[in-house]
A and B are shown apart, each in its own frame.
Chain A
Amino acid sequence: MNFSKKSLKLMSVIAGTMLMGSVFAGCGDEGSADEIKVGANFESTGNVANYGQATLDGFNLAIKEINDAGGVNGKKIKVVAADNKSEASEAVNAATKLISDDKVKVIVGPAVTANVIAESQVATDNKIPIIAPDATSPDVTVENGQVKPFVFRSCFIDPQQGSVMAKFAAEKLKAKTAVIYVDNSSDYSKSLGKVFKEKFEAAGGKVLMEEAFLAKDQDFKAALTKLKTANADVVFVPAYYEEVGKIVKQARELGFKQPFLGTDGWDDSKVADIAGADALNNTFFSTHYSDKDAEVKGFVDAFTKEYGHAPNVFAALGYDAGKMLADAIKRAGSDDPEKIREALEQTKDLKVGTGTITMDKHHNPIKQAVILENKNGDRVMVAKIMPDAE
């Protein structure tokens, strides 16, 4: 390349300015004494960006309400957000950056299980507590039978959803047989499939066939054609919205008439966009709350006022995480990560947006699940089930 002297000079001025900018930015990063820095590590872009962004919105709303009411312990909470691009490796990078550059005291997020599991090692090494608002896999807080001391969540866990759906299929839909179709590239999906099978068979049902696909697949017809031959009473598809939409669409095209059952990964309007409202009739999924539930009206109104659209379940869970965090910091009486950790462990009968949280010994809240039915483009709450405490 051939730079003239003039352009070289210009470039060095620009480079110099940028350098100075970053030096000054570095000074500002230490934070002031009257605020508590909290990291938010979410999927703002990437294939599950819908989950991450909604959770972050809900979380920010909770923090805003807390700050407007005077903060906690006389300090305001300051949220530092980092995007993990929906990838496990980026989740680790974002957490490292939040801890070492931004010096946060606690991290909330990421949204999906695999990303939280990836992040949990960094948090444990640095003794910074994390709260996962939406990660429902048991492995998030427990590893080899040991509870991870710094990892918490503010939602219920997969076995609860799997058993709630198995119970629903057997008791409400009177299903005797089922087939299971899971996403083999997702821990979430596989563990739900496993629990559903256990509980459904314990309730006297029979799982006739199990098939798997991979995230990002486009064509499901071959496996669906096979599943159709089983002619089971229900089809259980614990997966994320993009694939769920395509699966339900292609299954209905192949002539599946049976009810499809799913879990909170279904809770996104994209499912209806992809599958179409007609195809989605006669499908049921478990989730954390229903916006038509009278108990959560306060949160729904506040969210709609703030963002101009109604919240989805991830926003509700993000909001819960914010409330749980503020409660813990308040009870800890300090912003010391270890004290916050202890306070999180003792969370009891805390009223949050979607219900009441009591932390069990595995760092999992005991919390109710609701079951929604997709009906002509709308969602109807058909059941509300409190899981049994372990």
Chain B
Amino acid sequence: MEVTHQVLQQLVNGISLGSIYALIALGYTMIYGIIKLINFAHGDIYMVGAYIGFFAITQAHLSIVPALIISFVVTGILGMVVEKLAYKPLRHAPRISVLITAIGVSFFLEYTSMYFVSPTPRTFPAIFGDVAIEIGGIVINGQQMLILGITTILMIVLTYIVHRTKTGKAMRAASFDTETAQLMGIDSDRIISITFGIGSALAAVAGVLVGVYYNSIDPLMGIMPGLKAFVAAVLGGIGILPGAVVGGLILGIVEAFVSGFVSSTFRDAAAFAILILVLLFKPTGLFGKNTKEKV
């Protein structure tokens, strides 16, 4: 009984953490899928999203839902601007140049934010009282339910956009082969821009949720979750949307179980060991198909 109880509680902990990773990983994977770029600035976009949500709540005195929407929209636009200024001019440059630019954008966002909002961590106001439900000794609190609820809704919406709308169809076509898609009359630049917008907006939601859940944000908060989300995306098969979600959840649950049943000291080691194992044994990830490149 005691053990099952622990397993279930760790499962709850792991799923809430994993949902956050999943939201960030979705953006990673969408962007990779379409322009084959590992956008290392993605974790910092998430941080900017958290700050926008923070200022919407503390300065404009909005409640959580409008704050999420504002952060979603503003950060989405920021993602598009970043793409336009930093990546679009390099569309035909070697991939390594774009990757290095992404690292540059990451530092730029981190230290510009640090200049404007100061490096001191900010505390999110408590917008939830102590709402918590207890089922047989397993505690699930309001923030965890909020995270789960919002993550699920966003994933349904995203699946709908990608599979049922014209833009989604264009996105899928562009990710399959950008040039052919262009020949078929798809405006690839517009589609890439939209992909960055949606990916960044999802990261922003994750940022605000983390602020609400853990109560504290700072300009360097994006580094670790960014790396973890990258692991999640690779685990699921980079470029594949359901893969990012499943990868994020698995990573969150693994971290919780390693902390809970092995030792918390090994938690991060476990996360990165997964990355190494996936790259060694199944580089295409859980959902990846083995496509052979023709030489």
Q: Which residues of A contact B (CB under 8 A)?
A: 45-47, 49-50, 85-86, 184, 211-214, 216, 218-219, 221-223, 225-226, 229, 242, 245-246, 249, 253-255, 270, 273-274, 276, 278
Instruction: Please give me the residue from chain A that is nearest to B253 by CB atom.
Output: A222
Residues of chain A with a CB closer than 8 A to B257's CB: 222
Known: A211-B263, A216-B224, A225-B6. A245 touches B120 (CB 8 A): no
A249 to B128, CA, bound (A): 13
Chain A residues, Cβ within 8 Å of B121: 47, 242, 270
Contact A221 B256 (CB under 8 A): yes
The contact string, 1 if C-beta is below 8 Å from chain A, for chain B 265-295, is 1011000000000000000000000000000
Complex: chain A residue closest to B126, CB-CB: A276
Of the candidate stretches B79-87, B196-204, B208-216, B235-243, the one touching chain A is B208-216
Can you give 21 A-B contacts (C-beta < 8 A)? A45-B118, A45-B119, A47-B120, A212-B263, A218-B210, A218-B213, A222-B259, A222-B260, A222-B267, A223-B264, A225-B6, A225-B10, A225-B256, A226-B260, A226-B261, A242-B121, A245-B215, A246-B215, A253-B139, A274-B123, A278-B130
Smallest CB gap from A218: residue in B: B214
**A202 to chain B: closest CB distance in Å?**
25
Q: Is the CB of A222 within 8 A of B216?
A: no
Chain A: which residue is nearest B143 at the CB level? A253
Smallest CB gap from B267: residue in A: A222
- Say yes or no: is B127 at the interface (Cβ < 8 Å to chain A): no
Q: Which of A225, A270, A273 contacts B9 (CB 8 A)?
A: A225
Q: Which residues 18-44 of B sit at the A interface, judged by CB distance below 8 A?
A: none
Given A219-B214, A242-B216, A225-B260 contact (CB < 8 Å): yes
- Chain B, range 226-261, C-beta contacts under 8 Å to A: 255-261
B167 touches A (CB below 8 Å): no
Q: How far is the CA of A226 from the CA of B225 in the complex (A)?
A: 23
Contact A213 B264 (CB under 8 A): yes
Identify the closest chain B residue to A49 (Cβ).
B120
Q: Which B residues touch A86, using CB under 8 A?
A: 119
The residue from B141, B210, B221, B224 contacting A253, defined by CB atoms under 8 A apart: B141
Contacts of B267 in A (CB 8 A): 222
Contact B13 A219 (CB under 8 A): yes
Q: Is B76 positioned at the interface, with any CB of A under 8 Å from its CB?
A: no
Per the bound structure, the CA–CA distance linking A219 and B271 in Å amounts to 14
Q: Which of A45, A213, A229, A274 is in CB contact (< 8 Å) with B216?
A: A274
Inter-chain contact A222/B6, CB cutoff 8 Å: no
| Chain B residues closer than 8 Å to A249, beta-carbon distance | 215
Give the Cβ gap from A364 to chain B, nearest Cβ, in Å.
30
Which residues does chain A contribute within 8 Å of B216, judged by CB atoms? 218, 242, 245-246, 274
Which secondary structure dominates where chain B touches chain A?
helix
- Residue of chain B at shortest CB distance from A86: B119
Within 8 Å CB of A245, what residues of B?
A: 123, 215-216
Closest to B132 in A: A253
A-chain residues with CB within 8 Å of residue B210 when the two chains form the complex: 218
Q: How far is the CB of A344 from chain B (nearest CB, A)?
A: 33
Bound-state Cα–Cα, A132 to B150, Å: 48
* Contact partner, B264, options A50, A211, A229, Cβ 8 Å: A211
A267 to B256, CA, bound (A): 30
CB pair A47–B119 under 8 Å, yes or no, is yes
B194 within 8 A of A: no
**A49 and B259 contacting across the interface, CB-CB below 8 Å:** no
Please report the C-alpha to C-alpha distance between residue A274 and residue B213 in the assembled complex, in whole angstroms: 11
Contact B141 A214 (CB under 8 A): no
Say whether A49 contacts B123, CB under 8 Å: no
Best-buried of A212, A226, A255 by chain B (most CB within 10 Å): A226
- Considering only CB atoms, which chain B residue lies closest to A279 in the complex? B130
The residue in chain A whose Cβ has the minimal distance to the Cβ of B266 is A212
Q: Can you name the residue of chain A whose Cβ is closest to the Cβ of B215?
A: A274
Closest to A273 in B: B123
Most buried by A among B256, B263, B264: B264
Q: Is B53 an interface residue (CB 8 A)?
A: no
Q: In the complex, which residues of chain A have a beta carbon less than 8 angstroms from the beta carbon of B134?
A: 255
Across the interface, B13 reaches (CB within 8 A) one of A45, A221, A229, A246, namely A221
A210 to chain B, nearest CB (A): 9
- Note all chain A residues with C-beta closer than 8 A to B123: 245, 270, 273-274
CB <8 Å contact, B139 and A223: no
Residue numbers in B under 8 Å from A270 (CB-CB): 121, 123
Write out the residue numbers on chain A whose beta carbons fall within 8 Å of the beta carbon of B215. 245-246, 249, 274
Q: Across the interface, do B139 and A255 meet the contact criterion of CB distance under 8 Å?
A: yes
Residues of chain A within 8 A (CB-CB) of B258 are 222
The 5 closest A-B pairs by CB, nearest first: A222-B259, A223-B264, A222-B256, A221-B13, A218-B214
A272: nearest chain-B partner, CB-CB: B123
Which of B17, B259, B268 lies in contact with A226, CB distance below 8 A? Answer: B259
Is B264 a contact partner of A212 (Cβ separation < 8 A)?
A: yes
- Which of the residues B119, B139, B225, B256 comes within 8 Å of A49, measured between beta carbons? B119
Distance in Å from the Cβ of A213 to the closest Cβ of chain B?
6
Q: Which of B2, B141, B214 has the most CB of A within 10 A?
A: B214
Bound together, the chains give a CA A226 to CA B224 distance in angstroms of 23
- New A-B contacts (17) at CB < 8 Å, excluding given A219-B255, A223-B259: A45-B118, A45-B119, A211-B259, A211-B265, A218-B210, A222-B17, A222-B255, A222-B258, A225-B6, A242-B121, A245-B216, A246-B214, A249-B215, A253-B132, A274-B123, A276-B126, A278-B130
- B110 part of interface (Cβ distance < 8 Å): no
CA distance A249 to B213 in the complex (A): 10
